[in-house]
Amino acid sequence: MNTTGIPGHELTEDVLLQELRHLHETRHETFLHGSPDALREHTARTFELEQEYLRRHPERQVDPRRTREGARGEPQDA
């Protein structure tokens, strides 16, 4: 993958989290108003850094409500 920015595996934990937070904060505006190139780059960078986070934290805590089985137990909005 060839995105701009420092490769995810070279980022410190703090910088990785900061970059991910920024990407998640800017996603909606980029999706609605970014050029096709900007959206493609944003998507690629987000994917790269999310994959790096998952690589570093394979045993991260998963909220059971964020799984299919757990979501099925939630009441549905009418």
**Every domain of the chain and the residues it spans:** 10-58
Angle at 62 between CA 47 and CA 46, to 5 degrees: 10
Whether 78 shows a pLDDT value over 60: the answer reads no
| The Cα angle at residue 32 between residues 30 and 38, in degrees rounded to 5 | 35
pLDDT in tens, 11-65: 999 999 999 999 999 999 999 999 999 999 999 999 999 999 999 999 999 999 9
Helix (H) or strand (E) holding 25: helix 13-33
What is the distance between the alpha carbons of residues 47 and 51, in angstroms, rounded to a whole number? 6
Rounded CA-CA distance 20/42 in Å is: 11
